[in-house]
Amino acid sequence: MLAKIFIKPKKGILDPQGKAVSGALGRLGFGRIQEVRIGKYIEIKLDDQDRSSAQAEVRRMCETLLVNKVIEDFTFEITGE
């Protein structure tokens, strides 16, 4: 199974990378951008055939190590790849 994890700053948390990219895009002529948020994407291959146990394990990984729960939110999906 493959876990696809998406991590992004929580609403209201400053995102200096997003601000920098937004400004650069504006200077390049992309004027319709309202906001850019920069996050992280992580893929983890799991040796697990049970989807519910894989979901529980990935959630524990995120809450224990991968995500700073004070300033970041996360979502994930499990695929059969």
Range of the domain at 23: 2-79
CA distance 57 to 2: 12
Q: What's the CATH number where 71 sits?
A: 3.30.1280.10
**pLDDT at residue number 80:** 85
Query: Is the separation of the CB atoms in 66 and 74 below 8 Å?
Result: yes
Radius of gyration of the chain, Cα coordinates, nearest whole angstrom: 16
Q: Give residue-wise pLDDT tens across range 16-58.
A: 999 999 999 999 999 999 999 999 999 999 997 899 999 999 9
Q: What is the mean pLDDT of residues 5-18?
A: 96
What local confidence, expressed as pLDDT, does residue 49 receive? 82
Q: Among all chains, which residue has been given the structure tokens 């695929």?
A: 79
pLDDT (0 to 100) of residue 48: 77
Total domain count for the chain?
1
pTM: 0.86
